[in-house]
Structure 1
Amino acid sequence: MPQHNLTRDEARERSALVDVSSYEHTLILTGVGESFRVRSRIRFTAAPESSTFIDAITASVERVRLNGLDLDLAEVVGPARIALPGLTAENELIVDAHFHYMNTGEGLHRFVDPIDDEIYLYSQFEVPDARRVFPVFEQPDIKAPFSFTVVAPDKWTVVSNSPTPTPGSPAETFTELGETPLPSMAVWQFAPTTPISSYITAIIAGPYRSVHSELTSSDGSLVPLGLYCRSSLFEHLDAENLFGVTKAGFEFFEREFGVSYPFEKYDQLFVPEFNAGAMENAGAVTILENYVFRSRPTEALVERRTVTVLHELAHMWFGDLVTMRWWNDLWLNESFAEFMSTLATAEATDFAEAWTTFATIEKSWAYRQDQLPSTHPIVAPIEDLADVEVNFDGITYAKGASVLKQLVAWVGREQFFTGLKRYFDKHAWSNTELADLLDELEATSGRDLTSWSRLWLEESGVNLIEAAVETGDDGAISSLRVDQLPWSLEGQPTPSLRPHRLAIGFYSDGGDGRLALTHSFPLDLDGESVEVEEARGLPRPDVIIVNDADLSYTKVRFDEASMGTAARRLSDFDDSLTQLLVLATLWDEVRDGERPVQDYIDTVMTHLGAITHSSGLLTQMRQLDSAVSAYLPPQQRETMHARLADRFLELLATVPEGSDQAFQFVRGFIKHASTEEQLDRLSSWLTPETGSVFGITLDTDLTWEILIGLCAHDAVEDAAVAEMSRRDPSATGVRQAATARASRPTTAAKSWTFTRLVDDAGLPNSELGALALGFGAGLQRPSGEIIASDAPLRPFSEEYFARVAGWWETRTLEMAQTMTMRLYPPVSEGTVEATRQWLTDHPAAPKGLLRLMRENLADAERALRVQRVSSASNGSLNIDS
């Protein structure tokens, strides 16, 4: 099913013509068949004698009636639009059509639970997919009240933006629609919403089970709360924790914003096969059901769920109450929600070190994105939907949130939140642009934000800050200078030097074997350099940390002596944030080809036992995998995987049994086990008498990880996978089995998997992702060669470059993106050359595809540079345990 575009100019022209009074949509949802019927009545004003169009991606259209006249369907119905000619000042449009059920996580997604064969539906509309469910003027600045009437099986639960009504008899609705009544059906008639944008409307239907609570809002009103999930997952829904986080978030946001919750109720629905973490539908948030933990989660995952819950709650104000006018101001939604959710997590929940997590995960995401050829300003130029659909990235979310954190420090926290209250009060239920927000912040802070906005929000790129230190014969500091340099990318404008509020930290050993903070020098850097006058005459510390406490958004470099000591004595720092900032700097140097990757691997392997911050530890585990699998030359990877697996076993003997560290180290051993002895040990964990290892219960999901690890080395029979599938017939089990079978490093397994991925257009999004994950595992042999394919397939790399453009013509956006990124061939000189040639040969390819291919190329070129540095060196840091 192809994608369809809408330009900013078209949207601007349409919003100047059209003002919608109301949408009334009636949907008949049985969950059976390929499509469902929708009858829509839209009332709107328009410029007399003008014409426009309404968006609708339909299976069929039976009737279009405009102002009492039936229009010729052949003349007005297009692939994604219905033309509306001859408009009057007041208009009524009636559309009767059928729309497709989807299995791609877009539009109205249909899922059948393999455990009980029950059907579950949910909508996902951001950016432009409400048009896959009903006719709509699909752009954020045409807000209107939405009224939904849903006919569905009477045993189902139906949830939308408005409070769920008591279901009634559908007889009258069937009569109005001219439909033959269906047995065992009911009708839910939802009250009209407040004026909202189409992308945050929602319909969720199926035999969902729920638990309910309530809270009193700051304005005294009672807000009902609901938590929903599939029946087969309900026993795992930890409602007490989720309600606790939600209520803490309500109290925090209402206090800080000075504005009460703007909707009538707040439901959170954990839904299957969701493409993202969650979606901020007004009053009916949909969330990835992986956050219903059926097996033990890491503490990092529990924290991530907390941040996600609070992120979506923050959207009720940022995005839902006040919405960007067009998608170039998407950051007004996402950056604010990201910043506020971390702030709330740190100050209103048990995860007080949330800013450490932010520095470790979110900012590293932002830095990576900001150094790709696709980097863009936070306020991005968005000319059409093709621009925005791939812009939900590390800049829009994490860089924007990082910059907002600096803005709060720049204008003052009290002034910042006072400005936000004015912003919400002035623009409630309407649409805004960047200038609307800056006006309020300038008014409350007294600062001119024009220059700040231009440098931080309207220019792309990241700069580098480093310290230059000189000492006298007595070891005292004679000069400490902090320099800022532009970090230039080929084909991108050189970023301006930006104003930074940051700190330089001195860390020294006072004789107790610890590296403790002795001095912290806050400073403003606005230009090329600044001298740290207070440091002159002090003894040189053991380590000088640039951007101490992670106050600013910037690449950093330590002086060589400081980095050497910091890496060698990483375990001696007193706080996790400093540890992780050192590792982030070292990792950045490796990625830039300034150090061999062995330096990073050796440092982490030596000090991993001292990293106790769960999200920080998870990040290092992931980066270790990337270091070995992408940045080491292929010929060195097998040996390094084995070394890592042995190291995890050593660490497991030193950390408390059953701890989060132990859990992550067990998973690390599973990931890297590769020798015959290691794989035999891993296999022994599958015996019935082995219920736990190192205090970690071998639960369902951990058992699947073991099987996938063994399959990746072809070290387990498929009968074991089949038996586990029998024991775990859930949707997760189906996906895990697909990944396991696709992981086998054989021609037969990879060929079968690739053929399914590229030829079976009916694959649901979850299975496609699971198969693609397994396909990439072990595809590149230690020699650097890619596993051969079976005839009639050409080599996998050739197949990829021959087919990738076609995926963007025949698949939806989510599916095309997944295939483009996940099936990209392993890094080699041949892959780089083939990508360059593809880009030369396809200058007119869809913009989203061109962006992803340029990113693929940039990542591959970077990996080759790092591999060359690693091949030429055995490491430059002396890391001793």
Structure 2
Amino acid sequence: MPGTNLTRAEAQERARLLTVDAYEIELDLSGAQEGGTFRSRTTVRFDAAEAGDTFIDLVAPTVHEVVLNGAALDPGKVFADSRIALDGLAAGANELRVVADCAYTNTGEGLHRFVDPVDQQAYLYTQFEVPDARRVFASFEQPDLKASFAFTVRAPEGWVVISNSPTPEPEGDSGAVWRFAPTPRISSYITALIVGPYHSVHSSWEGEDGRLVPLGLYCRPSLAEFLDAEDIFAVTRQGFDWFQEKFDYAYPFEKYDQLFVPEFNAGAMENAGAVTIRDQYVFRSKVTDAAYEVRAETILHELAHMWFGDLVTMEWWNDLWLNESFATYTSIACLAHAEGSRWPHSWTTFANQMKTWAYRQDQLPSTHPIMAEIRDLDDVLVNFDGITYAKGASVLKQLVAYVGVDEFFRGVQAYFRRHEWGNTRLSDLLDALEETSGRDLRTWSKAWLETAGINVLRPEIETAPDGTITSFAVRQEAPALPPGAAGTSTLRPHRVAVGLYDLVDGRLVRTDRIELDVDGPLTDVPQVAGRPRPAVVLLNDDDLSYAKVRLDPASLEAVTRHLGDFTESLPRALCWASAWDMTRDGELATRDYLELVLAGIAKESDIGLVQSLQRQVKLALDLYAAPDWRPTGLARWSEFALERLRAAEPGSDHQLAWARALAGTARTDEQLGLLEGLLDGSRSVDGLAVDTDLRWSLLLRLTATGRADGARVDAELARDATSAGERHAASARASLPTAEAKAEAWASVVESDKLPNALQEAVIGGFVQTEQTELLAPYTERYFAALKDVWETRSHEMAQQVAVGLYPAAQVEQATLDATDAWLASAEPGAALRRLVTESRAGVERALRARAADAAAGGAAGGGAS
């Protein structure tokens, strides 16, 4: 539908014509417990620069009234394709009134409605980014048409209603109407409503000037016992303190609520003063400290958005990276540097997880500049990716090093003051940073923000017979962009540190550090000549730049034997990340990567790194191992996981991590028997709490291997009759290794559109089991036969789950590539769907190359089953 997909040209013309003043929105949600539709009344006042025609956006089953400047328009004539045509606008002031019936959703878009199986109560929340405020009220749906928003909501008695403005006392004898004060000028996509019988906890933050900002936490009553409010408030106050100092701009809203909501598609959303967060972050079972770190980063990321994104907002979605990269960089910097932080090692986590995501994304056919070309809403909907978030934050970190920390934040302070409540482009931020740093940032911007792809840095070291270094240089490469990617590869300027590490009492200790600029294909490092060759030479030490780093042969040999012996976590993370990238690129065989992990992971103290390595090993064995050696590798890994589980300190995070790793890979009768025993209570591991979520992890492995059936799943669901239990049960049933289970799962997702977003995701996750490739093989043809219809008839979030989740990624064979190519040629999909499918195809192509490299390594070692 042309009206659903707004183009940038249309948005620019509408912004040229209109200045929007205010919305008054009345929503009757009194029937929310029953569902269906709700009445939406919108009055919007705006000015037109000249007489002319435009349109307002609305996604609604029925439009009852459209009144423009007092004249009633025929809805049957002016409402089509999710747009209401507004012809004959008066120059100057205009007023529009729209009355419609809008629909509750179960897709996590617009006004999502969820019924908790515990109390059978409905819980509502809005999710409007990118273009879904129009599912709730008529709006000019683009970020640069800011306005004030005043909501009036009718809801069932006893419920609470939360919005961007402070919650008023409800009106009426039954206390059923809430009239919120108008917001400041904000974009429509960050307005919000959260409605239902939510549980709440309240506190405040006090600034140095004595200002009190009310803080609220909300969740469903069925999760209230698990809401660790004081920990969440502590992280929030830490963020307020640090951001207030760095931004030197008062928190711009009247209160700050964080609402943990069900079936949320993303991690969180920066609605002004009313942040929604997925309620999986209310931990109902034991998790490792890495999970608390991820939650803290999410909390701080959304808080940073209150300034960067909400107070000052991008003009159009091509500058989405400005919002997301800034929030990512500052949230991690806060964790690393704020006084009293529990996670001063957060840059280690960033290097091992976020940058790995960026490197992977940047090598796909869909790679794009950080400042992407966004032609329409379809483009931006698939652009919340590793480049927008992680590469952008990496480059921002590099920019901070380039201009100086103090100069950077002084520029940000000037930017906030200059553009408060307005919209900006990249050039506005660069102007402010140039003023405070005195540096020309246009050349830097062109090299780093306006080009795609990734550079590779390699050390070139020559030594004398006595081990003395005679020459040292850094070789920079710009690999060709993947076929189909726009643009050309380029060499860039890098500010890097070179770390020199030697073994001291069995530990790898940095003995020297040299910081320099790398530019062009070869950069000489004369400072190193004449020194004894160190055990390890680590390029990009301290992770200052964004580049793939390779180890020279001698360093790789030392790291293979001593990776766990680095005294600091960041160089370990950089070496682990380099080894993983080499494995993905086919430069390091999967079997050799496994040996590296087996040799070093037992010494790894950082639990986040341990869990990343566990995921990467399993992925490598599933997709990158030569098929004839894969059973050997899986057997070694599962045996090692069992050994580490038994050796771990009772009750520790490492013990829990290894229990979950074993639950993901157990294969022998002994290992699966232990899972069964832990589940039924006949077996135990000292200190290991087999709580609700761990029970589901154990059961999922048992169902996937045929050791448990649907009746066992039903029994476990009876123990955990919650929404989380329903999701776990859906995954477990879909994982059963029978044709009947697969057919039922497929039908529920592809042939029906009744499942809500969270259950659909759970079914897909259980359906795809890499050890069931023969059972899943017939679904490759069925996937391509159904894909285009699913894409054209479902909402974006639901269609994307199917397009990505059910792609036959586990069928690592040429036939999958051929089937994909044939479909791309015949189906002629739109740009967004084409991007998702070609990204998935690239994963299979990479896996084939990695398998070939692993097979070659097995042949060189004397056979593929070593």
Give the shorter-chain TM-score range: over 0.9
2:239 aligns to what?
249
Which residue among 35, 47, 50 is the counterpart of 2:49? 47
Structure 2 residue identity aligned to 1:856: S
Structure 1 residue identity aligned to 2:404: G
- Name the CA distance, whole Å, in 1 between partners of 2:474 and 2:726: 54
1:148 aligns to what?
151
1:687 aligns to what?
680
- Name the CA distance, whole Å, in 2 between partners of 1:828 and 1:669: 28
| Structure 1 residue 2 displacement after superposition | 11
2:135 aligns to what?
132
| Structure 1 residue 152 displacement after superposition | 0.2
2:795 aligns to what?
812
Contact 2:401/2:544 (<8 A) preserved? no
1:865 aligns to what?
849
2:213 aligns to what?
223
Q: Deviations over 1:600-659 (max 9, x none)?
A: 111112221111112111111110111111111344433332321210121233331111
1:292 aligns to what?
282
User: What does residue range 451-466 of structure 1 map to in structure 2 within 5 Å?
Assistant: 451-466=443-458
Q: Deviations over 1:771-827 (max 9, x none)?
A: 00000014634xxx3446xxxxxx211100111111111011111111011101122
Which residue among 44, 62, 65 is the counterpart of 2:64? 62
1:829 aligns to what?
814
- Name the CA distance, whole Å, in 2 between partners of 1:584 and 1:292: 30
User: Is 1:500 matched with 2:494?
Assistant: yes
| Structure 1 residue 195 displacement after superposition | 0.2
1:509 aligns to what?
503
1:196 aligns to what?
186
User: What does residue range 842-857 of structure 1 map to in structure 2 within 5 Å?
Assistant: 842-843=827-828, 845-857=829-841
1:173 aligns to what?
none
Mean Cα deviation higher: 544-553 or 119-128: 544-553
- Name the CA distance, whole Å, in 2 between partners of 1:876 and 1:471: 28
Which residue among 457, 469, 487 is the counterpart of 2:479? 487
2:263 aligns to what?
273
User: Is 1:467 matched with 2:459?
Assistant: yes
Q: Structure 1 residues 562, 778: CA separation in 2 closer, same or farther (over 3 Å shift)?
A: closer
- Name the CA distance, whole Å, in 2 between partners of 1:580 and 1:591: 16
Q: Structure 1 residues 741, 778: CA separation in 2 closer, same or farther (over 3 Å shift)?
A: farther
CA RMSD after TM alignment? 1.6
- Name the CA distance, whole Å, in 2 between partners of 1:122 and 1:234: 18
Structure 1 residue identity aligned to 2:8: R
Contact 1:262/1:321 (<8 A) preserved? yes
The answer for unaligned runs of 5 or more in structure 1 is 171-183, 789-794
Structure 2 residue identity aligned to 1:709: R
User: Is 1:541 matched with 2:534?
Assistant: yes
2:658 aligns to what?
665
Contact 1:808/1:846 (<8 A) preserved? no
- Name the CA distance, whole Å, in 1 between partners of 2:56 and 2:468: 72
| Structure 1 residue 838 displacement after superposition | 1.2
| TM-score, normalised with respect to structure 1 | 0.95
Contact 1:386/1:848 (<8 A) preserved? yes
Contact 1:219/1:260 (<8 A) preserved? no
1:259 aligns to what?
249
Structure 1 residue identity aligned to 2:843: D
Structure 2 residue identity aligned to 1:457: L
Q: Find the residue that maps to 2:177 and give its secondary structure.
A: strand
Contact 2:371/2:449 (<8 A) preserved? yes
User: Is 1:169 matched with 2:159?
Assistant: no
- Name the CA distance, whole Å, in 1 between partners of 2:682 and 2:825: 58
Q: Deviations over 1:522-544 (max 9, x none)?
A: 11112222211111111111111
- Name the CA distance, whole Å, in 2 between partners of 1:115 and 1:877: 57
Q: Deviations over 1:551-593 (max 9, x none)?
A: 1100111111211211122122212222221121111111111
- Name the CA distance, whole Å, in 1 between partners of 2:686 and 2:492: 49
- Name the CA distance, whole Å, in 1 between partners of 2:93 and 2:861: 74
Count of equivalent residues: 853
Q: Find the residue that maps to 1:853 and give its secondary structure.
A: helix
| Structure 1 residue 876 displacement after superposition | 8.1
Q: Find the residue that maps to 2:52 and give its secondary structure.
A: coil
| Structure 1 residue 221 displacement after superposition | 2.4
User: Is 1:838 matched with 2:823?
Assistant: yes
Q: Structure 1 residues 228, 875: CA separation in 2 closer, same or farther (over 3 Å shift)?
A: farther
Q: Find the residue that maps to 1:685 and give its secondary structure.
A: helix
Instruction: Give percent identity, aligned residues only.
Output: 52
Contact 2:591/2:633 (<8 A) preserved? no
User: Is 1:27 matched with 2:11?
Assistant: no
Q: Find the residue that maps to 2:533 and give its secondary structure.
A: coil
Structure 2 residue identity aligned to 1:846: G
Q: Find the residue that maps to 2:88 and give its secondary structure.
A: coil
Which residue among 594, 602, 605 is the counterpart of 2:595? 602
Q: Find the residue that maps to 2:96 and give its secondary structure.
A: strand
2:329 aligns to what?
339
Mean Cα deviation higher: 42-51 or 148-157: 42-51
| Structure 1 residue 381 displacement after superposition | 0.5
Off by >6 Å, runs of 4+ in structure 1:
875-878
Structure 2 residue identity aligned to 1:861: E
Q: Deviations over 1:352-387 (max 9, x none)?
A: 000000000000000000010101111110110011
- Name the CA distance, whole Å, in 2 between partners of 1:694 and 1:322: 53
| Structure 1 residue 488 displacement after superposition | 1.3
- Name the CA distance, whole Å, in 2 between partners of 1:737 and 1:33: 25
User: What does residue range 316-395 of structure 1 map to in structure 2 within 5 Å?
Assistant: 316-348=306-338, 349-395=341-387
Structure 2 residue identity aligned to 1:15: A
| Structure 1 residue 219 displacement after superposition | 4.7
The answer for unaligned runs of 5 or more in structure 2 is none
Q: Find the residue that maps to 2:171 and give its secondary structure.
A: coil
Q: Deviations over 1:60-112 (max 9, x none)?
A: 00110111111011210113100111111211111110111000000000000
Contact 2:58/2:134 (<8 A) preserved? yes
2:78 aligns to what?
76
Q: Deviations over 1:175-208 (max 9, x none)?
A: xxxxxxxxx5600000000000000000000000
Structure 2 residue identity aligned to 1:121: L
Q: Find the residue that maps to 2:465 and give its secondary structure.
A: coil
Structure 2 residue identity aligned to 1:257: F
User: What does residue range 688-727 of structure 1 map to in structure 2 within 5 Å?
Assistant: 688=681, 690=683, 693-727=685-719
Contact 1:167/1:186 (<8 A) preserved? yes
2:95 aligns to what?
92
- Name the CA distance, whole Å, in 1 between partners of 2:61 and 2:255: 33
User: Is 1:38 matched with 2:40?
Assistant: yes
Q: Deviations over 1:93-151 (max 9, x none)?
A: 11110111000000000000001100000000000000001000000000000000000
Structure 2 residue identity aligned to 1:17: L
Q: Find the residue that maps to 1:146 and give its secondary structure.
A: strand
Mean Cα deviation higher: 145-154 or 341-350: 341-350
Mean Cα deviation higher: 160-169 or 720-729: 720-729
- Name the CA distance, whole Å, in 2 between partners of 1:832 and 1:13: 42
Contact 1:567/1:582 (<8 A) preserved? no
Structure 1 residue identity aligned to 2:581: D
Contact 1:307/1:342 (<8 A) preserved? yes
Contact 2:367/2:453 (<8 A) preserved? yes
Structure 1 residue identity aligned to 2:298: T
- Name the CA distance, whole Å, in 2 between partners of 1:12 and 1:639: 59
- Name the CA distance, whole Å, in 1 between partners of 2:35 and 2:342: 47
Contact 1:200/1:280 (<8 A) preserved? yes
Q: Deviations over 1:475-497 (max 9, x none)?
A: 10000111111121234433221
User: What does residue range 629-640 of structure 1 map to in structure 2 within 5 Å?
Assistant: 629-640=622-633
Q: Deviations over 1:664-685 (max 9, x none)?
A: 0111111110112211121111
- Name the CA distance, whole Å, in 2 between partners of 1:536 and 1:605: 35
